[in-house]
Amino acid sequence: MDPAAVNSWGWFALALVNAGLAEQKNRSRLNWFLVSIFLGPIATLLIVVWKPAPAQPDDEAPQPISLSTGFLAIGVTLALASIIVIALLASSPPSILAWIISGVMMAGALACLITFVVRRPADRARSLAGAPQQTPAPSNTEVSAQDRASS
């Protein structure tokens, strides 16, 4: 069997393991799977070293698209475009310029995905801090104690 095929299956398996580790730390499985495809063992190190994200309530309202989500979209788009360029290179005579363009696009995709991973916890914390806090209504005994204190 071709060694490159064996290595690529190992990289894919590592991305699946990283997705599971990310879920254990209250992070997005899909995001970390995509990041792990590019970073591999470095993503594993980041997942293991970073503190778990705060637990999210199940009834949380959907949040508007943030800047970090835009970075994810740009990163995935650049990665796909780079893969298309590489596929075209495989079917034509090699050109150094095309390889440089593909490398720059892949580096841009990697930078966008890393920015997404780094900014996402801060964006999520900011959106949770801006949400109005619900305070419980005072009970009857607390109300009567407050009325006695005010009179």
Identify the DSSP state of 26: T
pLDDT along the chain (151 residues), means of 10: 66 86 86 85 88 70 62 77 74 74 83 80 72 52 57 57
The pTM (predicted TM-score) of the whole model is 0.41
Give Dmax over CA atoms of the chain in angstroms.
92
pLDDT of residue 37: 84
The DSSP result for 117-134, as a single string, is: HHHHHHHHHHHHHHSPPP
The dihedral of CA 107, 110, 79, 2: what is its sign?
positive
